[in-house]
Amino acid sequence: MADATFPKDTCVYCGSTKELTDDHIPPKSLFAKPRPSNLITVRSCRSCNGNASKDDEYFRLMISMRHDTGDHPAVQKNLPSIFRSLEMPTKKGFQRTLIGSMDEIEIATPGGFYLGTAQGYNVDLSRLDRVAARITTGLFFHEFGKPLEPEFKVLAYSVDGFSNADQRTKTLIYDTLTRITSGKPRVFGDGVFTYWLDGARECDTTSLWVLQFYQKIYFLCSIASNHED
């Protein structure tokens, strides 16, 4: 429920009141047309929105070109436009980078069970995590009707980033995902995007979030005070 004391026309990311636009949470480009009518939007200044656009595009490309998302209907509909965009002259540098990053990768379940290898590419997980953190910031506003206070921070981690972690860490992550996703999901666009919120009943408490894309890709996100260890 929205907080009546918070000005509606304020950027949820930086607090600016100038050149405001609607920012889709998550990026609407993840959804195939015709897009769902219930997509979440928050107010964002043009600067915050524009500065995130390249990361949003990278995010869409990387999660759409994975070995395990190609069977999702939204990905299948989006791939032609993705490939057309890669053919644009402005994307030549990205094409070279993508080709240069091709390699054999190990495939495993979220619980760490080894499935073999496949042709893949190296991904800048920090960029994906940055998008996931921004999405969580927007979802916080959507859930509580006010932006994060300055003393709170968002941390986001791609579950894939734990593939080389020790077994104890993998087990902890998998158990945390299992616990949180046993709760009520918020689903958008036939499984294009789903999220779960755990541990927060008020906006000023620590919370854990799980973001899921195309029913295959998970991010574990947390919101906590900067003063917490």
Q: pLDDT digits over 22-69, tens only?
A: 999 999 999 999 999 999 999 999 999 999 998 998 899 889 988 889
Phi, psi (deg, nearest 5) at residue 179:
-65, -45
Q: Categorize the per-residue pLDDT at 2 as very low, low, confident or very high, splitting at 50, 70 and 90.
A: very low
Phi, psi (deg, nearest 5) at residue 151:
-80, 0
Phi, psi (deg, nearest 5) at residue 90:
-70, -10
> What is the pLDDT at residue 165?
86
Report the candidate in 190, 182, 183, 184 with the shortest Cα–Cα distance to residue 213: 190
Average pLDDT over residues 14-20: 92
When the pLDDT of each residue in the chain is averaged and rounded to a whole number, the result is 84
* Beta strands at 217-225 and 152-158: parallel, antiparallel or unpaired: antiparallel
Comparing 131 with 225, which gets the higher pLDDT?
131
Phi, psi (deg, nearest 5) at residue 54:
-70, -40
Q: Categorize the per-residue pLDDT at 93 as very low, low, confident or very high, splitting at 50, 70 and 90.
A: low
> What is the pLDDT at residue 67?
80
Is the separation of the CB atoms in 151 and 225 below 8 Å? yes
Distances in whole angstroms, Cα of residue 124 to Cα of each of 32, 52, 98, 128: 24, 15, 11, 7
Encode pLDDT of 133-152 as tens digits. 999 999 999 998 888 888 89
Check whether 8 has a pLDDT greater than 60: yes
Average pLDDT over residues 85-90: 68
Average pLDDT over residues 148-165: 90
The percentage of residues in the chain with a pLDDT greater than 90, rounded to a whole number, is: 56
What are the strands, taking DSSP E only, across the chain? 20-25, 40-45, 102-108, 114-121, 152-158, 186-188, 193-198, 207-213, 217-225
Comparing 113 with 197, which gets the higher pLDDT?
197
How many Å apart are CA 89 and CA 19, to the nearest integer?
30
Q: Categorize the per-residue pLDDT at 1 as very low, low, confident or very high, splitting at 50, 70 and 90.
A: very low
| Least reliable range by pLDDT among 24-33, 95-104, 210-219 | 95-104
Report the candidate in 89, 121, 93, 88 with the shortest Cα–Cα distance to residue 105: 121
> What is the pLDDT at residue 88?
67
What number of H helices and E strands is found in the chain?
6, 9
> What is the pLDDT at residue 97?
58
How many Å apart are CA 188 and CA 221, to the nearest integer?
19
Token pair for residue 119?
A: 């042709």
- Extract long-range pairs of 119-123: CB within 8 Å, 24+ residues apart: 119/67, 120/66, 120/67, 121/65, 123/62, 123/160
Check whether 4 has a pLDDT greater than 60: no
How many Å apart are CA 83 and CA 87, to the nearest integer?
7
Check whether 176 has a pLDDT greater than 90: yes
